[in-house]
Structure 1
Amino acid sequence: MAVFEAVVPALVGLELTGPEPGNGTRLRIPPGTPLLVECAGGRLTGKTTLLKALEERYAERLPQAYADLGRADFGRPGLALPAENEAPRLSNASHTSDLLFHVRYELSRRANRFGGGLSFPRLTQGLLAITSWQAVGLGELEAAGRRLESLLRESQPDAQARRNKVAGWIRQVAPNLGAAAGLGPGVNELVASLADVVATELLGARANRNGLRWWAERRVSAQGEANVQLSELARAFRGGAQDRESAERHLLAALLADIDDHYTWARLKNRLPRPLLLLDNAHTPLGRPVLETLTRVWHEESVRTRPGVVVTALDREPAVPDPESTAPSTRNAAGPFWRADRPQTADGWTVRLPLAQLTLDEVKRMFGTDHPAPDTAQLIHRLSAGRAGIAHGLVQAGRRAVRLGTDTGPRALLDLPADDEPDTPVHERLLRLLVPDDTARTRLAYFSPALDYEAAHGLGSAYPPGDDGALRVQETIRLLERDRWGTRPWPGTGAPFVGDPALRALLGHQLAARLDATPGAEPWHDIHETLRDRYAPRTAGGQPDDRFLHHALAVLDTGTVVRALHQRLARQDAATWLAALNLVCAAPHPPRNLAPATARPEDCPACGSTRAPVHQAIDLLVRGLWQQSHPLAPPDQRLIDSVQLQLLTLAQHSGPADQTVFFRAYDTWPQLLRRWIQAPHLPIRGESPR
């Protein structure tokens, strides 16, 4: 993967290129400034796995810090910071400042291969300033104490010793607490005391003086020496939103300045690699402000040596794997990842790489020496849409079934026990990962048959059973938007309510499995009857909507579907008719115990008989194409041959113009069905399948 082989080595200075006499290899440092690399992808595409793999790969090679920006503890349980619901009430804390406490500690640790960690005098002094507490309540003092303890984690591993040390510091600066209440004039004395007592002990006198010199030149306020500037920093941090953001930018600038100061001419000459920051979930409400502040500081500050930064974010992605795509990705990224010029905006410092979808060969290799039933790997590749997390869960369930000698056929795939939860079907395990909230997941399952928002809203008046949320459809729409679920439009009708094919297939399977236990699968029938009624003809003798027939097929009312399509054949051109067939045969498949609707063969308005060749062809075409379009259906040569034969029959019984369209479908659809293309994505007029 290019992130491992090219991107990160270039960012941190480990890119070895070509021989050099007497040294074997030489290190090429690209000119200019490194970019912030953002790797984006959908749910379970391997974003966190990518960062964890980078963290492990470079664990002993360079200073690094990992942080999950979507969590209050940054994905490090036990981090000595306030609880998520406590932090907003504290004036001396923010998610950005807590991140800097964490990053300072992580980068201070020793990287075994390259000697000691970094020192952060400027950042430490800034963090001490904003941590200066007000004597207005116990919460501020306790929170400040916890943050002071975090400054000692590297030098003092024992927790009790850290607490004792912090208590001693607080006693030393205690005379200034009263004067500092409300951040009045006495805050200058408090900040000075913290710098003298705490920073000197943490950093040493010389580093402390150098850091203060930087703050004196920083000009947080119009004038004043270092302690005045740090006091103004504390005031800004406790001010309004814009003032706090400004203070956070000063703190991030201090981080960059400390890193730059560490990389002296001698260290650069000796090829000391730069630090690596790995920031996960930057798309979250907690993460977005941090990343926006970081990119702005990256744009505004002029420092020579910067860390490598790799960020992951949730984003929409292609709905299905495309082996012919040449779009940039983390698999074939070639850069450049440095800029010699200065972009006009902060956003210009970010290069975005979509996470690569798995190829079929990669899915096959995941099985190792286990041999599942034929077509299983291809089915997983299509069903997962190339998402690594979904494919991994399905492959592991399949491998477990192979080893236990149970059914591993494609139709049984989603009901196999999950490898890490043998009492849970793998489809349920995957859905819990994709949609963790139980209520949201249940709502999505019940709304998944809807073809549009209005249809989902119609279901929302009665489903899910027992859910009395007044805005449950709106909340579900917000969830789909917030989690950036992609959509794959259906030709001629837009995207269904749940537009991501992988999510829709898993939800549909779960709903059918849940309702299969109900006698007669009545809830399934009721859901699709509710949806079908929305599209019923409004006048006597009116033609049913394509969506009406879609839901009719979902409750096994095949007779109604065939009669309606036969009647339309004489009134519609072949292209419009095939488009309707495409939508109808994309209908979800019902629970196994749903009884077929009562057949009424005598009242076909087009022919009055089921023996007519065209009527029989339409009947077999609908049944065959619907079965072949099941999400768990691999190409079935018998069904495909039947679909081809029925299309030929329709071509033979059509006029010249329609005959051309039907014959083209006869010629191309079987090839596409063998390539795993299904309704509703079969092309009508020779266009490429979507």
Structure 2
Amino acid sequence: MTLYGRTALLDAVVPSLVGLQSGGAARLRIPGGSPLLIVCGGGRLTGKTALLKDLSDRYAQRLPQAYADLGAADFGRPGLASVADETTANASGTSDLLFYLMDGLSQKPNEFGGKLSFPRLTQGLLAVTSWQSVAVQPAELPAARRRLAGLLRESQPDLQERNQRVAGWIRQVTPAAAAGLGPGVGELVAPLTDIVTTELFGPRANKHGLSWWAERRVGPQGDGHSQLTDLAMRFRGDGGDRRRAEHHLVAALLEDIADHYTWLRLKNRVPRPLLLLDNVHTPLGRAVLDTLTRVWHDEPARTRPGIVATALAEEPAVPGSADTAPSTRSAAGPFWRQDRPQTAADWVLRLPLARLDLDEVAEMFGADRPEPGTAHVIHRLSAGRAGVADALVQAARRRIRLHEPVEHGALLDLPIELPAPEDGPTLPVYERLLRLLTPDGETRERLAYYTPALDDAAAHVLNAGYAPRHPGGEPVEGAAVVPVAGTRSLLRQECWDHRPWPGTDGPFVGHPTLRALLVHDLRTRTGRAVEAEEWTGSHERLRILYPTDAAEPHDARYLHHSLAIGDTDLVVRALLRRLAGQDAPGWLAALNLICAAPHPPGNAAEPATDPRTAGGDPVRQAVELLVLNLWLQSHPLAHPDQQKINSIRLQLLTLAQNSAVGPQKVFYQAYEEWPQLLNRWLQAPDLPNYGESRT
């Protein structure tokens, strides 16, 4: 997926962390102090993983790097075994991750001087993973320690064989260098130095590693082998002991990286490694990030890698700019600390991923020219989520390249090509998006079933008739009904922000993008039509929850569900009675909530009665035309229709002309402002009501 709105992170933040331009060869001066750990947050399909993949591509073959998806059982590497759980005696998710990161960072990039080696981490991981799985008797401790020492010695190549290999390489290189007696000598020195350094200093690095472990004081006393023995035994202890052992292992990783950066390499501005950690909001991700920050905080500051992570997080309350972070104005920028913060958590800088703006969505079409307003519809429907917008754009582009029109009302039903054949058959884009946003089929079915509800009480009413289904669609006999509270909790966990509508604490599914997709799913299920009786029955059950006393106007929530089943005549009569209360702000708030009603399956809503038969009453005609046109303009796929907007403007003026002084002022303000907002793609229920609202 093409990335948009991530300029600062790609071109300022990460280059500052690793000391290398993202799109050039220039090495940057690394400021003193320690870099912050960058965590980019956003909802599902906001481009978090694509951001890390883009960073990986930008720095491929230029510096050591490793990517790991902490939400995947195989770290995102197909063919890798599942990560160990906490019940495994000699492995954990963190130790498996360290093996995986060490393997990635050990691969020498073509444009990077030298190769990272990890003697300390290798020794620590060998100790915890190779230690016998059963408990050790006190009498067996000396023998177990000797076995560990032998294992560490065996992990090092034979010194004599090593020296023979180096001598052979030198003999092969010397004639070539002598034959050149010129520039060729210089070209051979650097790779020869790397070979000799790697081969000759292997045992030395092993010795230094053991010295480092001896100074760690994992246990109260003893040499490096004794400390590693204590590390292995602590790893098999309770949760606290294992976390402390993992702390030592992460410290070993950072120390090995720092050890590579000698004074000369630092002076030459050799770039730092880059660790890319996806989905750190998961249980393993939280544990890893917590350990990293504690090590960052507790260990002496040395040369440290750049770390960029992503996490599921709530979207910013207000759409951000194209950048995800402030621009850098100093050499250090806001991404480094010269001092030691008060807490470990202060080492983390959380950057929300900015929502895409309209220009960025339009840019996704490239050279393809969509119908006017298509980019605007996609931008509003996606709420700026990069992954949602990208899928809709790709579906539309496919249609454009086939020289077929892209009708806004049919946008969600366009087929989308899947990345790989194993992903299954081609799906309509709305269904593909729902599978990505809510991967569990049962959860998806349940959310769609609850979507008409405006509050938790209404969801409980629907829940009484909910029957879980198999993936094929048939009911699951004897399946327990998942409580409404569990579904609400799931929405919070998935960071679907709740945006209350006027006059209600709901709707139950409050995010406009997820709600629009789920409503469309209810209206047009793949493989089976939604029966009109099912739709009507749900809304009829829901509307009776709200007051309908003949002495008072109908509750706006009652009228919302009435409009959803096309009962426009009832809605108009109730709104006419509300006008008598002279509460113009409350009336507009009710209209906002009512006209946000979903459209029933089938054709677009049509008037239940002809406004011309309203008995010559201009107010009734104005209310009816206002309801119908605003409802049609508030469909998630509707574009501003100038004829309908002009009608809305005229009807608001009619209401102003036929109102008392106080309400007249409010209706006249709506007459001036609502058409402008509708032309700017705003819809009910988000139009202003100019005062306190009530249902």
Q: TM-score range by the shorter chain?
A: 0.7 to 0.9
Unaligned runs of 5+ residues in structure 2 are: 1-6, 159-198, 419-423, 469-474
Distance 1:519 1:199, change over 3 A: closer
Match for residue 36 of structure 2? 35
Distance 1:578 1:332, change over 3 A: farther
Secondary structure, counterpart of 2:522 in structure 1? helix
Between the aligned partners of 2:22 and 2:599, the Cα distance in structure 1 is 55
Secondary structure, counterpart of 2:311 in structure 1? strand
Between the aligned partners of 1:499 and 1:182, the Cα distance in structure 2 is 64
Task: Choose the corresponding residue for 2:18, options 2, 12, 22.
Answer: 12
Q: Contact conserved, 2:19 with 2:28, CA < 8 A, in 1?
A: yes
User: How many angstroms does 1:303 deviate by?
Assistant: 3.1
Match for residue 622 of structure 1? 627
Task: Choose the corresponding residue for 1:194, options 151, 163, 179.
Answer: 151
Secondary structure, counterpart of 1:114 in structure 2? coil
**Which aligned pairs between 1:297-336 and structure 2 lie closer than 5 A?**
297-318=295-316, 322=319, 325=320, 329-330=324-325, 335-336=333-334
Match for residue 578 of structure 1? 588
Deviations 1:400-453 (A, max 9, x none): 111223330211111111133874111111111111111111111111111111
Distance 1:447 1:333, change over 3 A: farther
Q: Contact conserved, 2:9 with 2:323, CA < 8 A, in 1?
A: no
Match for residue 489 of structure 1? 500
Match for residue 264 of structure 2? 266
Between the aligned partners of 1:618 and 1:26, the Cα distance in structure 2 is 67
Distance 1:179 1:94, change over 3 A: closer
- 425-434 or 541-550, which moves further after superposition? 541-550
Between the aligned partners of 1:234 and 1:597, the Cα distance in structure 2 is 76
Distance 1:533 1:404, change over 3 A: same
Deviations 1:198-242 (A, max 9, x none): 256698321111100000111011111111111111111110001
Name the % identity. Answer: 59
Task: Choose the corresponding residue for 2:362, options 348, 364, 376.
Answer: 364
Match for residue 64 of structure 1? 65
Q: Contact conserved, 1:516 with 1:593, CA < 8 A, in 2?
A: no
Match for residue 156 of structure 1? none
**Structure 2 residue 523 is the aligned partner of structure 1 residue 512:** yes
Between the aligned partners of 1:134 and 1:222, the Cα distance in structure 2 is 22
TM-score w.r.t. the length of structure 1 is 0.86
Distance 1:74 1:47, change over 3 A: same
User: How many angstroms does 1:487 deviate by?
Assistant: 2.2
Q: Contact conserved, 1:63 with 1:110, CA < 8 A, in 2?
A: yes
Deviations 1:312-335 (A, max 9, x none): 11111147x74xx55972586774
Q: Contact conserved, 1:108 with 1:119, CA < 8 A, in 2?
A: yes
Match for residue 157 of structure 1? none
Between the aligned partners of 1:575 and 1:279, the Cα distance in structure 2 is 49
Match for residue 425 of structure 1? 428
Distance 1:73 1:331, change over 3 A: farther
- 570-579 or 7-16, which moves further after superposition? 7-16
Between the aligned partners of 1:132 and 1:411, the Cα distance in structure 2 is 62
Task: Choose the corresponding residue for 2:294, options 274, 293, 296.
Answer: 296
Q: Contact conserved, 1:331 with 1:355, CA < 8 A, in 2?
A: no
Q: Contact conserved, 1:216 with 1:225, CA < 8 A, in 2?
A: yes
Q: Contact conserved, 1:183 with 1:235, CA < 8 A, in 2?
A: no
Match for residue 453 of structure 2? 450
Match for residue 618 of structure 2? 613
Match for residue 462 of structure 2? 459
Q: State the AA in 1 paired with 2:71.
A: G
**Which aligned pairs between 1:628-667 and structure 2 lie closer than 5 A?**
628-667=633-672
Between the aligned partners of 2:152 and 2:530, the Cα distance in structure 1 is 74
Task: Choose the corresponding residue for 1:478, options 489, 501, 509.
Answer: 489
Distance 1:610 1:517, change over 3 A: farther
Deviations 1:493-544 (A, max 9, x none): 234111111111111111111299548611110111111111143x554432
User: How many angstroms does 1:477 deviate by?
Assistant: 1.9
Q: State the AA in 1 paired with 2:155.
A: V
- 180-189 or 249-258, which moves further after superposition? 180-189
For these two proteins, the number of residue pairs brought into alignment is 629
Between the aligned partners of 1:630 and 1:182, the Cα distance in structure 2 is 77
Between the aligned partners of 1:72 and 1:501, the Cα distance in structure 2 is 32
Q: Contact conserved, 2:522 with 2:530, CA < 8 A, in 1?
A: no
Distance 1:380 1:183, change over 3 A: farther
Secondary structure, counterpart of 2:308 in structure 1? strand
Secondary structure, counterpart of 2:67 in structure 1? strand
Q: Contact conserved, 1:442 with 1:464, CA < 8 A, in 2?
A: no
User: How many angstroms does 1:180 deviate by?
Assistant: 7.2
Between the aligned partners of 1:208 and 1:328, the Cα distance in structure 2 is 45
Distance 1:219 1:179, change over 3 A: closer
Between the aligned partners of 2:506 and 2:647, the Cα distance in structure 1 is 29
Q: Contact conserved, 2:274 with 2:305, CA < 8 A, in 1?
A: yes
Distance 1:33 1:389, change over 3 A: same
Match for residue 202 of structure 2? 204
User: How many angstroms does 1:360 deviate by?
Assistant: 1.1
**Structure 2 residue 553 is the aligned partner of structure 1 residue 553:** no
Deviations 1:629-648 (A, max 9, x none): 11001111011001011100
Match for residue 104 of structure 1? 102
Distance 1:527 1:16, change over 3 A: closer
Between the aligned partners of 2:493 and 2:139, the Cα distance in structure 1 is 39
**Structure 2 residue 538 is the aligned partner of structure 1 residue 527:** yes
Distance 1:329 1:450, change over 3 A: same
Match for residue 245 of structure 1? 243
Match for residue 120 of structure 2? 122
Between the aligned partners of 1:519 and 1:9, the Cα distance in structure 2 is 53
User: How many angstroms does 1:37 deviate by?
Assistant: 0.7
Match for residue 52 of structure 2? 51
Distance 1:135 1:237, change over 3 A: closer
Q: State the AA in 2 paired with 1:196.
A: R
User: How many angstroms does 1:383 deviate by?
Assistant: 0.6
User: How many angstroms does 1:30 deviate by?
Assistant: 1.3
Q: State the AA in 2 paired with 1:300.
A: D
Distance 1:225 1:520, change over 3 A: closer
Between the aligned partners of 1:5 and 1:338, the Cα distance in structure 2 is 16
User: How many angstroms does 1:598 deviate by?
Assistant: 7.2
Match for residue 435 of structure 1? 438
User: How many angstroms does 1:88 deviate by?
Assistant: 3.6
Between the aligned partners of 1:680 and 1:32, the Cα distance in structure 2 is 50
User: How many angstroms does 1:615 deviate by?
Assistant: 0.8
**Which aligned pairs between 1:66-81 and structure 2 lie closer than 5 A?**
66-79=67-80, 81=81
Match for residue 672 of structure 1? 677
**Structure 2 residue 601 is the aligned partner of structure 1 residue 591:** yes
Q: Contact conserved, 1:498 with 1:504, CA < 8 A, in 2?
A: yes
Deviations 1:587-624 (A, max 9, x none): 011101699897699xxxxxx96531111111111001
User: How many angstroms does 1:193 deviate by?
Assistant: 2.1
Secondary structure, counterpart of 2:501 in structure 1? coil
Q: Contact conserved, 1:635 with 1:673, CA < 8 A, in 2?
A: yes
Secondary structure, counterpart of 1:87 in structure 2? coil
Q: Contact conserved, 2:35 with 2:337, CA < 8 A, in 1?
A: yes
Distance 1:527 1:418, change over 3 A: same
Between the aligned partners of 2:531 and 2:52, the Cα distance in structure 1 is 48
Q: Contact conserved, 1:450 with 1:456, CA < 8 A, in 2?
A: yes
Distance 1:399 1:464, change over 3 A: farther
Secondary structure, counterpart of 2:488 in structure 1? helix
Match for residue 390 of structure 2? 392
Secondary structure, counterpart of 2:689 in structure 1? coil
